[in-house]
Amino acid sequence: MTGDRVDVSVVVPTYDEAANIAELLRRVDAAVGGPATEVVVVDDSRDDTAAVARAQAPSLRSRLVVIHRAEPEGGLSGAVVAGLRAARGRQCAVLDGDLQHPPEVLPALLDALEGADVAVASRYTAGGAAEGLSGWLRHGVSRTTTLVTKAMFPTRLHTCSDPMTGFFALDLDRVDLDELRPKGFKILLEVLVRRRRRIREVPFAFGARTGGSSKASLRQGLWFLWQLVDLRFGRMSGFALIGALGAVANVAIVSALVALGMSFLPAAVIAAEATIVGNFLLQERFVFADLVASADPTWRRFLRSALFNNTESAIRIAIAWWLVAHGVLHSAIATAVTLAVAFVARFVFHALVVYRPREGGAVPAARERARV
C-alpha cells in the first residue's frame, strides 16, 4: 500500500465551504487517511474554499486532489460525478463538505461495501438520526420527499431507507458512470434507480451545520422534482392520468346526481365508491402491473386499497361537505380541490403498502424494466 497505489478515494463536493473544509479534511484523514487513500475535493465555490483546501495538503497523510470548476455543470450531482471520474480508488466514498456528514462513519461505510454495490449512510435506519435538519419544516420535507421517492421506485429502493442522503460509498467497478445524467443534488438516487444495486446501510446521525449556510432552496427543490420526473415519469404519470380520469368521473357523477335532486352527501359517497373500484382495476392493469407478481394476492390488494381509499374518502367528503354547507365552494369545485389534495397520499400508500413485495418473495424479471 505504498507508492502510487490508491485503494480508497473520498469525494467531497464543495460550494462556499471555506469555514468548514479544513476541519473536514482533518477528520477525514484521521478516519481513513493513509498512503493508499486520496481525498478529491470538487469545488464550485465563489469563495476561497479551494485555496483553504490546498493549504491543508502538507498536514494530511492522504493524497489531496482539488478540482475547481469555473463553469460547474450538473450542480452538486455533477460535482460528485466529476470527483468519481477523477478518483483512482476502487472503493469510493462521498460526503458533503459542511460537516453534517460525520467523517468518523467512513470506516464502517467502506466496510459495508463488502458484498454490496453501494453502502448508504442512513438517517432513517435503526440507530440513525436527523436532528441536524433545522426546524420542523425541513424534517417534514425530508420525510415527505423520501416517502414519495420510495413510492415512485418501490422495487429499486425497497431495501434503502434513505435514498435522499448525500453520504454513501460505492464500488466503482460495479457502477457505470456513463449511464448517469447528473442534475440537481440527489446523485445517490440516480445511482440506485438506473439499475438494481445490492445495498447495505450504515446508520449515522445527521449533524447540525457549524459554519457557512445551507444550500437548500426552492430552485434545488424544483431540480429534485425534475429529477424524479426524469427518472420515473412512467409510473407517476400513469397513476396521475388514472387519478385524473377518476376525478373527472367523480365530479361528473356528483354533478349529475345533484342535478337529479339527490343531496350532496349521498351523491359524493356513490361517486367515491364507483371511482375507487374503477381506479383499482385500471391501476392494476396499467400502473402497477410489474409489481403484481411479487405482491400479495389480488383480494388483499383490493381490500387494502379499498379500506385506505374509503377512509381517505370519508375524511375528504367530510371536508368537502363542510365547504359546500358553509358556502365556501360550489360542490363540483369542492370535490375537485379535495381530490387533488388526496392524490399524493393515495400514490404513496399504493406503491409502498398495496404493492409492496411479499417478504421473501421473488422479484419478477419484468420489474427490471428501465424508465419509460
Q: What is the pLDDT of residues 241-275, one digit of tens each?
A: 788 888 889 889 999 999 999 998 899 889 988 99
Task: With respect to residue 68, please indicate whether it lies within any of the assigned structural domains.
Answer: yes
Q: In terms of domains, do 89 and 162 share one?
A: yes
In this predicted structure, the answer to whether residue 5 has a pLDDT above a threshold of 80 is yes
Domain that holds residue 257: 233-368
Pick the more confident residue, 332 or 165.
165
pTM score, whole prediction: 0.62
In a domain, 302, yes or no: yes
Are both 225 and 307 inside the same structural domain? no
Residue at a domain's end among 231, 251, 279: 231
pLDDT at 132: 63
Query: Which of 102, 79, 98, 92 minimizes the C-alpha distance to 22?
Result: 98
* Dist CA 21 CA 18 (whole Å): 6
Exposure string (b/e) for 101-119, b if CB count within 10 Å is 16 or more? bbbebbeebbebbeebbbb
Is 248 within 8 Å of 210 (Cβ atoms)? no
Asked if pLDDT for residue 339 goes beyond 80, the answer is no
The type of residue at 186 is K
Whether residue 259 lies inside any domain: the answer is: yes
Q: Would residue 62 count as lying in a domain?
A: yes
Q: Does residue 18 form part of some domain?
A: yes
What pLDDT, in 10s, does the model give residues 78-125? Answer: 899 999 999 999 999 999 988 989 999 999 999 999 889 999 999 989
Q: Does 112 reside within a domain? A: yes
- Name beta bridge partners: 43: 14, 68
What is the C-alpha separation between 200 and 142, in angstroms, rounded? 21
For 181-213, the pLDDT digits (tens) are: 766 667 898 888 888 889 999 999 987 756 555
Closest by CA to 35, choosing from 64, 58, 61, 54, is 61
Are residues 317 and 343 both part of a single domain?
A: yes
Q: Are residues 218 and 260 in the same domain?
A: no
Do 352 and 321 belong to one domain? yes
* pLDDT classification of 59: cutoffs 50, 70, 90: very high
- Hey, what's the cell of 53? 483546501
Positive or negative torsion for Cα 181, 184, 185, 188:
negative
Same domain, 221 and 248: no
**H or E stretch covering 234:** helix 233-259
In a shared domain, residues 197 and 273: no
Judgement on whether residues 253 and 169 belong to the same structural domain of the protein = no
Q: Please tell me whether residues 226 and 242 are part of one structural domain.
A: no
- Asked whether residue 3 is domain-assigned, the answer is no
Percent pLDDT > 90 in the chain is 37
Instruction: Supply the pLDDT for residue 1.
Output: 40
- Domain end: 204, 231, 258, which one? 231
Q: Give Cβ neighbours of residue 72 (< 8 Å, ≥ 6 apart).
A: 44, 78, 79
Contacts of 147 (CB under 8 A, 6+ apart): 348, 352
Do 112 and 251 sit in the same domain of this protein? no
Based on the domain organization, do 70 and 134 belong to the same domain? Answer: yes
288 and 355 both lie in a single domain? yes
Q: Domain count of the chain?
A: 2
Q: What CATH number has the domain bearing residue 83?
A: 3.90.550.10
Question: Does residue 2 form part of some domain?
Answer: no
Q: Single out the residue in 185, 215, 231 at which a domain terminates.
A: 231
